[in-house]
């Protein structure tokens, strides 16, 4: 998968390149609009990450150039999250946007979603190690033992399972499980994870829910 990053702030561009490369993507970086335009016209990409504020040709113009050629997914980055900016970007054909400063986990999640072509498949059953979830019957069991979860614990575990191996930030979890789309200065997510662990992980081996310090949580079978 080839990703083009057009970003004039060198440090941002650099860590995006490193991070996305580590996640297995082929990354090209353009540090200004002109180079970006050149790369867009010369080669094919599966995803373009565009900064809006660029010297020379700005992100909006590049977006139009991209749209004239192909339906390559575009994720735009903006420092100003004024409503008009977002609306403008989406109207011009961007597929998603992120407001700076954004968390890297969030960016990675968006990139994955955009690259996952077509609608996400409806999975009805999950199985990770000996943990099983049946969505239709709303049942969770581990090591064959049925677990009793509250609605929100179920929703939280479902989120972690459907993004297995992906780090989810606290904000993402709060937004997806409780529709809390703002920062509420509480450790609600940590508490909820702790309680979920008490039921799902504490009595069993191996541990599946992991804390990634400074980033969030993920569910995976430890290597």
Instruction: Give me the DSSP letters along the chain.
Output: -EEEEE-SSHHHHHHHHHHHHHTT-EEEEESSHHHHHHHHHHS--SEEEEESS-SSS-HHHHHHHHHHH----EEEEES---HHHHHHHHHTT-SEEEESS--HHHHHHHHHHHHS-SSPP---EEEETTEEEETTTTEEEETTEEE---HHHHHHHHHHHHTTT--B-HHHHHHHHH---S--SS-HHHHHHHHHHHHHTTTSSS--EEEETTTEEEE----
Two structure tokens written together for 126: 């999950």
Q: Which residues bind another protein (CB under 8 A)?
A: 81, 83, 101, 150-152, 174, 178-188, 191-192, 194-195, 213-215
Distance of CA 164 to the CA centre of its chain: 12
Give least dist CB 174 to another protein, A: 8
Give least dist CB 181 to another protein, A: 7
Give whichever of 27 and 173 is closer to another protein, judged by the CB atom. 173
Give least dist CB 18 to another protein, A: 14
Two structure tokens written together for 201: 């992980």
Give whichever of 37 and 78 is closer to another protein, judged by the CB atom. 78
Give whichever of 83 and 121 is closer to another protein, judged by the CB atom. 83
Give least dist CB 185 to another protein, A: 4
Give least dist CB 93 to another protein, A: 24
Give whichever of 75 and 177 is closer to another protein, judged by the CB atom. 177
Give whichever of 44 and 202 is closer to another protein, judged by the CB atom. 202
Give least dist CB 103 to another protein, A: 8
């Amino acid at each position: 998968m080839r990703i083009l990053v057009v970003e004039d702030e060198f440090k941002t561009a650099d860590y995006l390149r490193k991070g996305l490369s580590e996640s297995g993507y082929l990354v090209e970086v353009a540090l200004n609009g002109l180079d970006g335009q050149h790369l867009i016209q010369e080669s094919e990409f599966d995803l373009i990450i565009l900064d809006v504020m660029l010297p020379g040709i700005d992100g909006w113009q590049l977006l139009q150039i991209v749209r004239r050629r192909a339906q390559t997914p575009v994720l735009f980055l903006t420092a100003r999250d004024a409503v008009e900016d977002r609306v403008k970007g989406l109207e011009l054909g961007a597929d998603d946007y992120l407001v700076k400063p954004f968390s890297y986990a969030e960016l990675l999640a968006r990139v994955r979603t955009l690259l996952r072509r077509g609608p996400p498949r409806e999975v009805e059953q999950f199985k990770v190690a000996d943990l099983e979830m049946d969505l239709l019957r709303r049942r969770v069991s581990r090591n064959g033992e049925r677990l009793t979860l509250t609605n929100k614990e179920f929703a939280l575990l479902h989120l972690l399972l459907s993004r297995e191996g992906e780090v989810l930030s606290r904000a993402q979890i709060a937004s997806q499980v409780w529709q809390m789309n703002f920062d509420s200065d509480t450790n609600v997510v940590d508490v909820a994870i702790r309680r979920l662990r008490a039921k799902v992980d504490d009595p069993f081996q191996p541990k599946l829910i992991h804390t990634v310090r400074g980033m969030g949580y993920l569910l995976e079978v430890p290597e």
